Copies of this chain bind each other. A is one copy, B any other.
Amino acid sequence: MTSPKPVLLTGASGNLGRMLAAELSARGHSLVLTDIKPFPGPLPAGARFVAADLGDGLSMLRIAEGCGAILHFGGVSVDRPFEEVLDPNIRGLYHVYEAARREGARVLFASSNHSIGFHERPAGNEARIDADCAFRPDSFYGLSKAYGELMGRLYWDKHGVENLNVRIGSCFPEPVDARMLSTWLSFADLARLCADFIAAPKVGHAVIWGASDNPATFWGADHRERIGWKPEDSAEAFRAEVGEKVSGDPVAERYQGGAYCASGYSRATPGPRETFGQD
């Protein structure tokens, strides 16, 4: 089943963008692709590409004209200094949501586990955090993702713009270290998620943990039933290969965000487990 209106994909020239463009094209979607960099290689069937800067609002609005859904994978996707995050991930997000509001389009926002990365990893059978947990960003990058989820909240509450915030764990061809046994999201599961989002009758404002069906997951309940998504892959198959690959850094190993938490960490002692009213 394809969307009657084209789907706009930002960040189309990146790794995830190219994979998604191919997968959604194969599912018969009409696509508008955009990125600040040229699209590498031939365009998939049913897709056109428009080079644009996320920071150029009127161009973003033009590109989105006629689209029924926006998959927002553009912007800075790793931890960078504050100033480098600001324009693409803060200002650019505003342009994406203004476009969605004008088009009556829904938004899938590629959020990140780094928006909540300072939650501790659960030990053994400890309860997993649900998608309504408090934000605990682990970097300026993670902070921009929390900001993006809240902008989605605002546009839903005020303008009825539907949006799905996918807190992507680690989306790689396969897991490369022990942490990814918990956080890995397969390309196929992400592609299915996007397709389900496009097809869903109703989304509202929703949050989904962007991870495959990993037994070692850090994460609990979310809104996946809203779009009917069910991951089919699992990182567990890679345990033998990567189970021993740990960072050795106590901060990285303690918190869900891993190396992002440890980068620049300067606290004398880690904070206690968070309980409301204490800290």
**A241 on the B face (CB < 8 A):** no
- A28 → chain B closest CB, angstroms: 24
**A237 on the B face (CB < 8 A):** no
Count A interface residues, CB 8 Å: 58
- A183 → chain B closest CB, angstroms: 19
Contact B158 A266 (CB under 8 A): yes
Roughly how many angstroms separate A94 CA and B52 CA in the complex, as a whole number? Answer: 17
Within 214-266 of A, Cβ neighbours of B (below 8 Å) are at 221, 223, 226, 261, 264-266
- A92 → chain B closest CB, angstroms: 12
Q: Which of A145-153, A166-174, A186-194 contacts B (4 or more CB under 8 A)?
A: A145-153
Assuming the contacts A118-B158, A267-B158, asked whether A153 and B135 have C-beta atoms less than 8 A apart, the reply is yes
Within 137-159 of A, Cβ neighbours of B (below 8 Å) are at 137-140, 142-143, 146-147, 150-151, 153-154, 156-159
**A200 on the B face (CB < 8 A):** no
Within 109-143 of A, Cβ neighbours of B (below 8 Å) are at 118, 130, 132, 134-140, 142-143
Cβ of A156: which chain B residues have Cβ within 8 Å of it?
271, 279
Binary flags per residue of A77-107, CB closer than 8 Å to B gives 1, else 0: 0000111001000110011001001100000
Assuming the contacts A158-B138, A268-B160, asked whether A81 and B52 have C-beta atoms less than 8 A apart, the reply is yes
Assuming the contacts A118-B157, A158-B265, A266-B159, asked whether A91 and B81 have C-beta atoms less than 8 A apart, the reply is no
**A7 on the B face (CB < 8 A):** no
**A179 on the B face (CB < 8 A):** no
- A149 → chain B closest CB, angstroms: 9
Roughly how many angstroms separate A130 CA and B276 CA in the complex, as a whole number? Answer: 10
**A205 on the B face (CB < 8 A):** yes
Cβ of A47: which chain B residues have Cβ within 8 Å of it?
none
Cβ of A82: which chain B residues have Cβ within 8 Å of it?
58-59, 91, 94
A residues near B, CB below 8 A?
Answer: 52-53, 56-59, 61-62, 81-83, 86, 90-91, 94-95, 98, 101-102, 118, 130, 132, 134-140, 142-143, 146-147, 150-151, 153-154, 156-160, 204-206, 221, 223, 226, 261, 264-268, 271, 276-277, 279
9 further contact pairs, Cβ within 8 A, besides A137-B154, A143-B151:
A56-B83, A58-B94, A62-B98, A86-B91, A118-B157, A132-B276, A140-B154, A158-B261, A159-B267
